[in-house]
Structure 1
Amino acid sequence: MKDSTLKSCLFLFPLLLFCGHVVAAEPDSKSQNWPGFRGPAGTGHSSSNGVAPRWNSDDIAWQVDLPVQGHSSPVVWEDRIFLTGWTQANGQVHRHVICLSRQTGELMWNRDIATGSGEELHKMNSWATPSCATDGTCVVAFFGAGGLHCLSMDGDPRWSRDLGQFPGAWGVGASPIIVDEMVIQNADAEGESFLLAVDKSTGKDVWKTPRREKPKGGWSTPLPIVVNGQRQLALNGEFGVEAYNPDNGEPLWFCKSFNGRGTPVPAWDGKTLFVVNGKAGDVYAIDPSGRGDVTETHMRWHTPRKGGRDLPSPIVSNDVMLVIGMAGIATGYDCQDGRELWKERLAGNFSGSPVSAGGLVYIAAENGEVIVLRLGEQLEVVSKNPSPLTKDEIVRSSLAISGGQFLLRSDKRLYCIGAN
């Protein structure tokens, strides 16, 4: 097999888990894995079977206090769960990567991998917001000014990289991804901004591509897609969405946004990217087959979107694009023409992004209540499941789905929900 063909297969494999509206059956060992932010393909979709749409306190398989705080989402590989977190002592911020047992939540290891004064943060952010990434051979974690780090699956340090200071008052949120033998990291900041690929084994640069200067910060995670047989990395940002060749970092196309921030990761249905800005402004759909500035040529539709901030990433299910604002207003858009289908207020505030399994969409509110939705011409609220949180907890991470169960991470605890 030629190298280029092998690379395409390695890149395409996770994308086959969700393509269009058909989710293929997946072996149990694979459905156990949730290897990065928003799951196997970065789209929030799982092929895990037996995910319950309703539960109560009796359905909590286990819950554990965490030795660290943070907002990163759980990442799962076989019998291990990986989280980032932080602690503070003597005026210093310590950045941690921890590993827990998938079966019991028991702490397997805890590595303090970077210490510093701690950069300025927005009140909703933390010193440990980006999620880990793993491919079963290593685990990677990014902490902005705290660096980019690679550890073995047993927590042994392999390499660390200082990527700069990431100035600004917001902090970071972009998670690393693993593509082939590379770790790819969005390093947008108010200072120098770039997209970086490093060798997974050594941490040395493979390529480094400058990004547009002076964005507000780096919060969006690159999304791997395949378009007409060619691999791309689609990355939302302050000025719009840009796509890159993952082999060399070459920019492929750019589509200008309607209003900045670019926090949410675009949704992808196998043919079209669906984009939310982050601040109030038109939602839009992109045909990613163009080259250069495609704003006038490949934007399929755009629809006005008013209101407040959109922090959760959108998701596509049953040919409907779902956008949930931070204040809990859920809006459905027809994927074909962008027509607004419905708008409904859900109880609570939302920071984490929705996930999907078995044709249903699940999202956790900041108070820990999980709402289950079925998308279509009308919105069906299937269930509102009670929060297991205590009053001193908040959820700003996204759910992870593993083996038919949910992992719900608050800033202080981790919950496993669902029958064993």
Structure 2
Amino acid sequence: MDMGISRKSMIVAMAACGLFTGVGLSADPASSWPQFRGPTGTGQAADKAVPTKWDAGSVVWKTPLKGKGHSSPVVAGDKIFLTSALEDGRQRVVLAFDLASGKQLWEQVAWTGNPEKSHKMNGWATPTVYADGQHVWAWFGPAGVYCYTEGGKPVWSQQLGKFDTKNARGISSSLLVVDDILVVNGDSESDPYLFGLDKATGKTVWKTERPAAEGYSSPFLLEAHGKKQIILNGDKFVAGYDPKTGKEFWHCKSFAGRGEPVPAVGADGTIFVVNGLAGDVYAVRTDGAGDVTKTHMTWHTRRNEGRDQPSPLVIGNHVLVSNMKGILSCYDAKTGKELWKERIATGDITAAPLAAGGKGYFNFENGETVVIEPGEKLKIVATNKLVPQGGEVFRASLAPADGKLLIRSDQTLYCIK
């Protein structure tokens, strides 16, 4: 991504691609990839120079990471920010790297103690930080929320709850900043709240009750229909909230539980939702109030493909949904009609995909990334492979930066061009 691109030019570029006409962005202008899945929170990149083909020889640099984690790279200015967990979760750290060289710039130990239980696919450093060019915010669930300056100086910390569930899968929801509010999804059975914190002090501004159930999706900001709203998927429903007060605007009941995937967004502010467990894909208008299940669900289409942990992706008039085994389905965004269904690779995929230059990037756990171009038929542009070592697992989302692409495994950060 062009590090000098203005907020205005970014919006124009997105509109020109037909991706978010009339839908505002959530990015702080100081950041180039400020949060999980970028400026929109939905995996849409304005940068058209993202590489489409690479191999081991395309690696500009790679940096071994301390500990393990699945948080995705965040880019603010010339710095990259990540989290990691050491000693099987007994220590949680925030890390900063130089974008040009991959050199580690600083490390802050946020928390040390006895770790909570977590699923083997999750761990203790899955939530992605938010960075606005001046500060970095990190969340580790029961280990707390932490704020640092971009240079690594501690500013504040806050413990919000235990976030226990009977299945003890841990937490994975990433952070969002809307104006002066830091938004934290605490979906769990012990502390089922959506939190709005003062980003400068960590003080709780509002706290909205959610269903007492496990949930792992990340909130994102949608600006459509003349207002801002936080969109959050969940175990029971997908909903829109007022960023200033936390008040629910609307909710639409889901077809399956968990709610890991982040919804995709169409040009008119319609969202496209899958729920993690096997269930339907469905479209919801976001201009309603109260329970909109019967009034604003514009279509839903049956899916029988198993788990749908990767988030859906919108490119033009196409909605792309991959299951965890690499079977990719393409739907018409206006009608929900399934246009095609193809296996794009063998192996497991859990990472949320990326859209750039009219193409979709699907990165598999084995380090393979399949780049596709949607249409009436599937077109595979490239199948790219890194050479992971030491049993590396790739569950983080890709992050474009200044014409390059950042790829994070649980153990290594790669930069390719």
Alpha carbons 2:19, 2:316 under 8 Å: kept: no
- 1:318 maps to 316
- 2:104 maps to 107
Q: What is the CA–CA distance in structure 2 between the aligned matches of 1:310 and 1:264, rounded to whole Å?
A: 8
Q: What is the CA–CA distance in structure 2 between the aligned matches of 1:23 and 1:412, rounded to whole Å?
A: 33
Alpha carbons 1:17, 1:23 under 8 Å: kept: no
Gaps of 5+ in 1: 1-10
Q: 1:13 to 1:38 in 2, by over 3 A?
A: farther
Give the alignment's TM-score, normalised by structure 2. Answer: 0.92
- 1:97 maps to 94
Q: Give the aligned residue type for 1:209.
A: T
Alpha carbons 1:362, 1:373 under 8 Å: kept: yes
Deviates more, 1:80-89 or 1:105-114: 80-89
Q: 1:178-225 CA distances to partner (integer Å, 9 max, x unpaired)?
A: 11111111110122211111111111111111112x212x31111211
**1:318 Cα shift?**
2.3
Aligned ranges for residues 79-90 of structure 1 at < 5 Å?
A: 79-88=78-87
Q: Equivalent pairs: percent with the same residue?
A: 44
Is residue 182 from structure 1 mapped to residue 178 from structure 2 by the alignment? no
Q: 1:278 to 1:13 in 2, by over 3 A?
A: farther
**1:379 Cα shift?**
1.2
- 2:23 maps to none
- 2:18 maps to 22
- 1:5 maps to none
Match of 1:228 among 222, 225, 230: 225
Alpha carbons 1:17, 1:40 under 8 Å: kept: no
Aligned ranges for residues 228-307 of structure 1 at < 5 Å?
A: 228-271=225-268, 272-307=270-305
Alpha carbons 2:43, 2:354 under 8 Å: kept: yes
Alpha carbons 1:32, 1:402 under 8 Å: kept: no
**1:262 Cα shift?**
0.7
- 2:328 maps to 330
The alignment partner of 1:281 has SS state of coil
Alpha carbons 1:49, 1:403 under 8 Å: kept: no
Alpha carbons 2:30, 2:132 under 8 Å: kept: no
Q: What is the CA–CA distance in structure 1 between the aligned matches of 2:261 and 2:366, rounded to whole Å?
A: 21
Match of 1:125 among 118, 122, 126: 122
**1:244 Cα shift?**
0.4
**1:22 Cα shift?**
2.7
Q: Give the aligned residue type for 1:235.
A: L
The alignment partner of 2:377 has SS state of coil
Note the aligned Cα RMSD (angstroms): 2.1
Q: What is the CA–CA distance in structure 1 between the aligned matches of 2:273 and 2:125, rounded to whole Å?
A: 25
- 1:339 maps to 337
Is residue 390 from structure 1 mapped to residue 379 from structure 2 by the alignment? no
- 2:399 maps to 400
The number of aligned residues is 401
Alpha carbons 1:314, 1:323 under 8 Å: kept: yes
**1:48 Cα shift?**
1.2
Is residue 135 from structure 1 mapped to residue 132 from structure 2 by the alignment? yes
Q: 1:247-293 CA distances to partner (integer Å, 9 max, x unpaired)?
A: 11111001000111111000012321000011111110001111010
**1:404 Cα shift?**
1.3
Q: Give the aligned residue type for 1:126.
A: G
Q: 1:41-91 CA distances to partner (integer Å, 9 max, x unpaired)?
A: 1010111132221122221110111123100000001110000101118xx
Q: 1:377 to 1:235 in 2, by over 3 A?
A: same
Q: What is the CA–CA distance in structure 2 between the aligned matches of 1:150 and 1:18, rounded to whole Å?
A: 30
Alpha carbons 1:82, 1:97 under 8 Å: kept: yes
The alignment partner of 2:45 has SS state of coil
Q: 1:383 to 1:19 in 2, by over 3 A?
A: same
Q: Give the aligned residue type for 1:251.
A: E
Q: What is the CA–CA distance in structure 2 between the aligned matches of 1:31 and 1:188, rounded to whole Å?
A: 30
Q: 1:405 to 1:12 in 2, by over 3 A?
A: closer
Q: What is the CA–CA distance in structure 1 between the aligned matches of 2:16 and 2:244, rounded to whole Å?
A: 25
Give the alignment's TM-score, normalised by structure 1. Answer: 0.92
**1:19 Cα shift?**
4.8
Deviates more, 1:76-85 or 1:188-197: 188-197
Q: 1:341 to 1:23 in 2, by over 3 A?
A: closer
- 1:362 maps to 361
